[in-house]
Chains A and B, each alone.
Chain A
Amino acid sequence: MIPEIGYFSLVLAMALSLLLCIFPLWGAHTGNLRLMRAAPSLAVGQCVFVLLAFAILIYITLTDDFTVAYVAHHSSSTLPWYYKVTSTWGGHEGAILLWLVMQTLWTAVVALMSNSLPWILRARVLGVLGFLGVGFMLYTLWMSSPFERLLPYYPVEGRDLNPLLQDPGMIIHPPLLYMGYVGLSVSFAFAIAALLTGKLDNTWAKWSRPWTMAAWGFLTLGITIGSWWAYSELGWGGWWFWDPVENASLMPWLVATALLHSLSATEKRGVFKSWTVLLAITAFSLCLLGTFIVRSGIIVSVHAFATDPDRGLYILMFLAVVVGGSLALYAARVAQVKSEGRYQFLSREVALWINNIFLVVAMLVVLLGTLLPMIHKELGLGSISIGVPFFNQMFAILIVPFAILLGLAPMLRWKQNKLSPLVKKWLLLSVVTLVITSAWLFGNYEVVAPLTFIGTALAVWIVLLTLFDLMQKVTVQNTISEGVKRLGVSYWAMVSGHIGIAFVIAGVTLTSAYSVERSVRMLPGETATLNEYVYRFEGVKEIVGPNYTGHAGVVSVLKNNKLVIELHAEKRLYNIGMQFMTEAAIDDGFFRDLYLALGEQLTQGAWSLRIYHKPYVRWMWLGGLLIALAGFIVITDKRYRKTSAPSEQQGVGA
């Protein structure tokens, strides 16, 4: 009975979202204010019913109702309660329901927080979001209901949640990623509403910017935590695989990054208007494309989701309607848009434009690398595979000019700049960069490969120039505290984001260059040495978890004969699926991670162990957090919450 209530609740939600799609759009078209006014309550209503359905799914999972197919396939009675909750998005149907939860939550938040918008724009934004809601709800009800029953023959025990997903990182990774994807649908809705209204002025850019920043922040967090999860859970210390599923989240991120830079130029200078709209459409389209790639089984991926051509066909149709429709609308309206800002070559506008080119090229590289094997095959040219080396090489080439520009650009003002004072500073700073990098690398390592040097220098360069620029801007005023106050919120966001990028570059470069590993066969009491650490194998003990049993290899890590830490590297056998899982033991540190994975049991009490020493690996995720922080800093900007700022009413470029 209860699962049926869940299904019915989704039906009601879909009815409301149909109304949410039709009423405000029709109202905006005919100028009927009453229809437009219905939108916010409809948005809240659909959200309430979707939340109810989600709560019911959690409830039936917690109460082990194995008559429901989804619960029987993705949970079990022995699963700890928190993993039962997360199992509600561990499978396809539940993940789509989570998507719906996010979609309707964002829609409701937009509905409630947009009361300073003109009704005609507000109605159109909500109407577009309503349309997206209808698309996903129809999909859920029609082809992917999580409330399907297994009656009359149902199992007494569920098949358990995939052990790989039984990890804290996995609890928050999908919700964050979906927050990001769905958040980009808000930017998309703003862009479509602006195109429908025919007013592509900087007002829409201003409204759309905080939503885009928030969505991008969540997306950044989601990707960062996904990478961290892969590192801690997959057992061999890798952190990025260029897997189609990862690429599916990276592509919207790259475009969203381009979008938020372009948005700031559109908002402040009224330039790149049509380009910004195109980016907003593209970012969300890539989210949908990613979903299609992941869920349709079109590409072989290590993320083994249940695949089904009917589902793929539905998502493709939806993709065609949403993206095709909006690109057609774009084509129809773009000719009317005129850019009115004027600028010279050496200006922030041009720097942002080049930044956009790099980001879009990077996205195209990922897109081609992901889809080319399929296209190649469809053209009858045979199977090919594009792997990690292709992506690594392409990104290594792209990152160099990108990072150099990233350091320079914040120093440029809008419109125009004088070259000679800038060149003097840049030359000085590049010398300082080389000195610091050389001291850092040659002081610590015997061998420094050219690429390692370049990567590290780029990171140092970004940090130096960002800090130098910050210092310059702060000291312009009479006192430093006044200077700090004068800097806008988005400036601080930029500092955080750019330094975050520097940390990512440094982390990736140094951990790729100086990670070392050893596979050893050890008897209890034996030691192995890797870099300055000595690892003493103390033996193996049995462990019993709630739904698994296994062995934990106990290893004492010593440095200069002093105990640093005792690590427990586990090998678990999950009872229901009979799957073996390696649970690596990690001693994390700011400058290095010690990473230990227990291998096989060999004869005479010996075990194989893999030991990794990974310098600076944490910097990547620290960088990711700093970048995400930038997104959240921008939303605190009070400018976005004023009900009517004077500048909007004047409408700089309307």
Chain B
Amino acid sequence: MNRKLLGLIPFLIFILLCVFLYQGLFGNPRELQTGRIGHTMPSFTLPDLMDEQKQWQDKDLIGDVYLLNVWGTWCPTCIAELSYLTELKEQGVKIIGLYYEQAYDPDFGDQFDINKLRAEVQAMLARTGNPYQFNILDLNRTLALDLGVSGAPETFLVDKKGTILLHHTGDINQRVWRSKFAPKIMELTQ
């Protein structure tokens, strides 16, 4: 092959790479294509974080547009987004917490210290502001598994019929909210 053309190959590969990198810059790697989008919330019966007498079921949530926010006090990014979520709540957004406890390991078969966790959560929310209507405790991570949660924080947008419209991985901040969530909610209210 011609030496001149051979010399051009690295340049051409690089140009191609640049095109992908440029596109990737405006795509969002945190956007997961979960199988759950467009489906209804999986059915569940789980206790309230603060009161185990109170049990929440999937049908209790139907009838409102809400955000389901997967979080835990062990997760620094979750803590960071709490104050912004609280702002959203003050603007009238309904946010329900799905508490994901990382420290609890069923393999040890041990009693879980729920009171300690509650104190911790209360102390945390007193510091940052409390964005949640209530928190669902998913100790055995069954609902998280059904939803395809891969970590925390993750947030789902659910409409009045209980259909999941969005699944966002990573924190919610003003930029994410405006570009991703707000347009969807506008659509719903129109």
Report whether A304 and B7 are in contact in the complex, using a CB–CB cutoff of 8 Å: no
Rounded to whole angstroms, the CA-CA distance of A464 and B20 in the bound complex is 46
Report whether B11 and A331 are in contact in the complex, using a CB–CB cutoff of 8 Å: yes
At the interface, yes or no: A298 with Cβ under 8 Å from chain B? yes
Report whether A602 and B108 are in contact in the complex, using a CB–CB cutoff of 8 Å: yes
Closest to A327 in B: B11
* Closest Cβ–Cβ distance, residue B169 to chain A (whole Å): 8
At the interface, yes or no: B189 with Cβ under 8 Å from chain A? no
Within A299-319, which residues are at the interface with B (CB < 8 Å)? 299-300, 304, 309, 312-313, 316, 319
Report whether A335 and B3 are in contact in the complex, using a CB–CB cutoff of 8 Å: yes
At the interface, yes or no: A564 with Cβ under 8 Å from chain B? no
The CB with the most chain A CB atoms within 10 A, among B10, B15, B20, B30, is that of B10
Residue numbers in B under 8 Å from A334 (CB-CB): 3-4, 6-7
Closest to B26 in A: A309
Residue numbers in B under 8 Å from A281 (CB-CB): 10
User: Which of B6, B14, B73, B108 contacts A578 (CB under 8 A)?
Assistant: B73
At the interface, yes or no: A375 with Cβ under 8 Å from chain B? yes
At the interface, yes or no: B74 with Cβ under 8 Å from chain A? yes
How many residues from B make CB contacts under 8 Å with A?
39
Closest to A338 in B: B3
Closest to B169 in A: A300
Within B101-144, which residues are at the interface with A (CB < 8 Å)? 103-105, 107-108, 110-111, 113, 124
* Closest Cβ–Cβ distance, residue B174 to chain A (whole Å): 13
Report whether A608 and B11 are in contact in the complex, using a CB–CB cutoff of 8 Å: no
Report whether A378 and B110 are in contact in the complex, using a CB–CB cutoff of 8 Å: no
Rounded to whole angstroms, the CA-CA distance of A313 and B11 in the bound complex is 20
Chain B contact surface mostly: helix
* Closest Cβ–Cβ distance, residue B171 to chain A (whole Å): 10
At the interface, yes or no: B91 with Cβ under 8 Å from chain A? no
Report whether A319 and B25 are in contact in the complex, using a CB–CB cutoff of 8 Å: no
Report whether B25 and A316 are in contact in the complex, using a CB–CB cutoff of 8 Å: yes
The CB with the most chain A CB atoms within 10 A, among B8, B26, B76, is that of B76
Known: A378-B23, A578-B79, A603-B110. Contact between A331 and B10, CB under 8 A? yes
Report whether B14 and A327 are in contact in the complex, using a CB–CB cutoff of 8 Å: yes
Interface string of A346-380 (1 = CB under 8 A from B): 00000000000000000000000001011101100
* Closest Cβ–Cβ distance, residue A543 to chain B (whole Å): 19
Rounded to whole angstroms, the CA-CA distance of A316 and B24 in the bound complex is 11
At the interface, yes or no: B29 with Cβ under 8 Å from chain A? yes
Report whether A330 and B29 are in contact in the complex, using a CB–CB cutoff of 8 Å: no
* Closest Cβ–Cβ distance, residue B148 to chain A (whole Å): 11
User: Which of A296, A300, A330 contacts B10 (CB under 8 A)?
Assistant: A330
The CB with the most chain B CB atoms within 10 A, among A292, A313, A602, is that of A602
* Closest Cβ–Cβ distance, residue A502 to chain B (whole Å): 33
Report whether B108 and A521 are in contact in the complex, using a CB–CB cutoff of 8 Å: yes
* Closest Cβ–Cβ distance, residue B137 to chain A (whole Å): 17
Report whether A330 and B11 are in contact in the complex, using a CB–CB cutoff of 8 Å: yes
Report whether A316 and B77 are in contact in the complex, using a CB–CB cutoff of 8 Å: no
Sample of 29 A–B contacts (CB below 8 Å): A281-B10, A285-B14, A298-B29, A300-B30, A304-B77, A316-B21, A323-B14, A324-B15, A330-B10, A330-B11, A331-B10, A334-B4, A374-B24, A375-B24, A377-B24, A382-B33, A383-B32, A519-B107, A577-B79, A578-B79, A579-B76, A580-B74, A600-B104, A600-B105, A602-B110, A602-B111, A603-B110, A606-B110, A608-B108
Which B residues are within 8 Å of any A CB, using their own CB? 3-4, 6-8, 10-11, 14-15, 17-18, 20-27, 29-30, 32-33, 73-74, 76-77, 79, 103-105, 107-108, 110-111, 113, 124, 169-170
